[in-house]
Amino acid sequence: MIDVIVLGGGIVGASAALMLAQKGQRVALVERDFCGSHSSGVNYGGVRRQGRPLHQLPLSQRAHQLWADLPGLIGIDGEYVCCGHLKLARSPADFATLQAYATQTDGFGLDLQLLDQRQLRVRFPWVGDVAVGASLCPEDGHANPRLVSPAFARAAQRLGASVHEQAEVTRIEHDSRQFQVHCANGLHLQAPWLLNCAGAWAGSVAAQFGEPVPITSAHPAMLVTEPLPVVMTVSTGVEGGGIYARQVARGNCILGGGRGFAVDPCRARPGQVAVLEILRNAGELYPFLKGAQAIRTWSGTEGYLPDHEPVIGPSSTQPGLLHGFGFAGAGFQLGPAVGEALAEIVCTGASRQPIEAFSIRRFQA
């Protein structure tokens, strides 16, 4: 007997499974490949609140609390460091945008610190001269997604969730009492609740239940250097978009920027345009990278809705069906809190964090 079937073993689905198992629910987590092998395992690793739209901040703030006790939650530290996130401004106009954001988000607990060019030079001398100012969120940070995301699924399993990997869900029916879920490998599960956490592939489940969403896939381009002397004390980004970068304890710098392309529905590559852009332009933001070597590039498959907001919450058509997908390149940090919100809906009928803004109803005219 199962209470909840979670479709998708990314950080969102695995967190939901973990939180449900913690609350004593009988959960089955079903994953086509390996848990945490898609977006959740290949992302940049930014664990940041800074820069998110205001209505994401309560969830993001809750996620921040959950990340704070990562070892307690999943049993490993996942290389999570709370070292700060520095958002750089390349022009006075961009700096004004950062100032405005700091004002708007006052009271959400981000504790943003605005740095003018002189302060920036003093505190972060490794930042290139193109930056005229910055906003620092001191308790944002970064983590290793390859370790963190699979560990959520393992933690759920330890608490009794059954985890089915290499099980692609190919058919779902609802027989007025339960969901009947069939997988390509012959696995058949049934339960009164179904959580659609299928990432970039979640649209077909929503469509099947009569609530199609205009989801598309995109592929952020990533690149990593050989190990370098450690100079970056914070994770960085740029106002208005551009190249973002962080450095891990081992010394490798991870950079992102631009978009790649799909090789097939499940795999993507960063593409030479994005890679060369990063190699050519990273130097002005991060001068210490000059002459360093990039050893590997990669990308992933991420779901985007036109407003770049996720879909989180109950289906508008099918009782028992919950959605949590479409995180537009920013769901790694949010994942644990989204999982918790979905688990709360199952157990208590409502999420403690406000999630109305993410309702699937917004696509129904």
Contact 62, 340 (CB under 8 A): yes
We find the least distance from the C-beta atom of residue 332 to ligand FAD, in angstroms, to be: 3
Angle 74-76-81 from CA coordinates, rounded to 5°: 110
- Beta-carbon contacts of residue 75 (< 8 Å; ≥ 6 apart): 151, 154, 155, 158
Pairing of strands 193-196, 321-325: parallel
Q: How many residues bind other proteins (CB under 8 A)?
A: 30
Which of 2, 5, 6, 12 is the binder for ligand FAD (CB under 6 A)? 12
We find the least distance from the C-beta atom of residue 47 to ligand FAD, in angstroms, to be: 7
Nearer residue to other proteins within complex by CB, 42 or 86: 42
**Residues recorded for the chain:** 365
Which of 111, 116, 129, 226 is the binder for other proteins (CB under 8 A)? 226
Q: Is 286 exposed, middle or buried (0-12, 13-18, 19+ CB in 10 A)?
A: buried
We find the least distance from the C-beta atom of residue 165 to ligand FAD, in angstroms, to be: 9
Stretch that binds ligand FAD, among 11-19, 87-95, 102-110, 129-137 (CB under 6 A): 11-19
Half-sphere exposure of 309 (CA within 13 A, CB side): 19
Binding letters toward ligand FAD, positions 264-303, x by CB under 6 A: -----------------------------------xx-x-
**Distance separating alpha carbons of residues 356 and 354, to the nearest angstrom:** 6
**Distance separating alpha carbons of residues 106 and 360, to the nearest angstrom:** 29
Contact set for other proteins, span 291-310 (CB under 8 A) = 291-298
We find the least distance from the C-beta atom of residue 153 to ligand FAD, in angstroms, to be: 10
Among all chains, which residue has been given the structure tokens 């027989």?
A: 175
Binding letters toward other proteins, positions 257-276, x by CB under 8 A: ------x-----xxxx--xx
DSSP state of 125: T
Contact set for ligand FAD, span 37-66 (CB under 6 A) = 37-40, 42-46
**Distance separating alpha carbons of residues 75 and 217, to the nearest angstrom:** 32
We find the least distance from the C-beta atom of residue 161 to other proteins, in angstroms, to be: 15
- Contact status: 95 vs ligand FAD (CB under 6 A): no
- Contact status: 172 vs ligand FAD (CB under 6 A): no
Sign of the torsion formed by the C-alpha atoms of 128, 97, 334 and 204? negative
Nearer residue to ligand FAD within complex by CB, 92 or 214: 214
Q: Which residues bind ligand FAD (CB under 6 A)?
A: 7-13, 30-33, 37-40, 42-46, 168-169, 197-201, 220, 222, 299-300, 302, 325, 327, 329-333, 335
